[in-house]
Chain A
Amino acid sequence: DIVMTQSPDSLAVSLGERATIHCKSSQSVFYSSNNKNYLAWYQQRPRQPPKLLIYWASTRESGVPDRFSGSGSGTDFTLTISSLQAEDVAVYYCQQYYSTPPWTFGQGTKVEIK
């Protein structure tokens, strides 16, 4: 199984500042035949179900604000919130869909306002 590890476990960022979350997979999730990274990011606001934010490591889901961006390739990925808003307070999860089943998630990163 592919193990996903996120860092940090939590971070506090001032409103309007940048938040950066890292995700590392235990093996590459890049498929060379289609040049795609099988990595998604989800946002889970308090008392809400998860919501798909980004897939293919960097493709924003429809309706997701452009302050959210994903980057990386192979085993190392980053989710960046360029200017933190109050509604971005949430736990963020990375997830691989390269080798399934099982579909595996990172342990989550909690983003709070400083």
Chain B
Amino acid sequence: QVQLVESGGSVVQPGGSLRLSCAASGFTFSSYGMHWVRQAPGKGLEWVAFIRFDGSNEYYADSVKGRFTISRDNSKNTLYVQMNSLRPEDTAVYYCAKQRQLLRGSLFDDWGQGTLVTVSS
């Protein structure tokens, strides 16, 4: 079955950097777009970034544009997000999620357990 395992979360100071990883298994990773979605403590879900199956295009939420970079290594079945210039408001559990492509649209059908990023001095 589909398994997504995030790692890399930790405590980081404001202005710092962090790279999260998401190891995928149980499906053909190279055939699916992938997302990062975050959830601040006690808050709702916020989409962060998306990358196409072949890495050809990336899309970002305005709140992270220019600071975060999503990438993937299809040979390693791994998704990444490089987070720079971190702010306290980036504190959240970060989930990776697999895309389900539908007619003219897509949504998230499998999620990892998440990894916690805390931005604090």
Contacts and interface: CB of A to CB of B under 8 A. Distances in A.
Interface of A: 31, 34, 36, 38, 40, 42, 44, 49-52, 55-56, 61, 91, 93, 95, 97-98, 100-108
Contact of A93 (B44, B60, B103): B44
Interface residues of B, number: 25
Given A34-B104, A36-B103, A98-B105, A49 B44 contact: no
A102 B61 contact: yes
B13 interface: no
Interface string B91-121: 0000100001011111111011110000000
Contacts of B27: none
Interface of B: 35, 37, 44-47, 50, 59-62, 95, 100, 102-109, 111-114
Given A49-B111, A49-B112, A50-B108, A105 B102 contact: no
Given A36-B103, A101-B50, A102-B61, A93 B45 contact: yes
Contacts of B106: 97, 100
B45 A108 contact: yes
Nearest to A49: B111
A108 B111 contact: no
Contacts of A98: 105
22 contacts: A38-B105, A40-B107, A49-B113, A49-B114, A50-B37, A51-B111, A52-B100, A55-B100, A56-B102, A93-B45, A95-B45, A97-B105, A97-B107, A101-B47, A101-B50, A102-B61, A102-B62, A103-B50, A104-B47, A105-B46, A107-B44, A108-B44
B95 A95 contact: no
A31 B105 CA distance: 11
Contacts of B111: 49-51
Question: Which of A36, A100, A103, A107 has the largest number of chain B CB atoms within 10 A?
Answer: A103
A98 B112 CA distance: 24
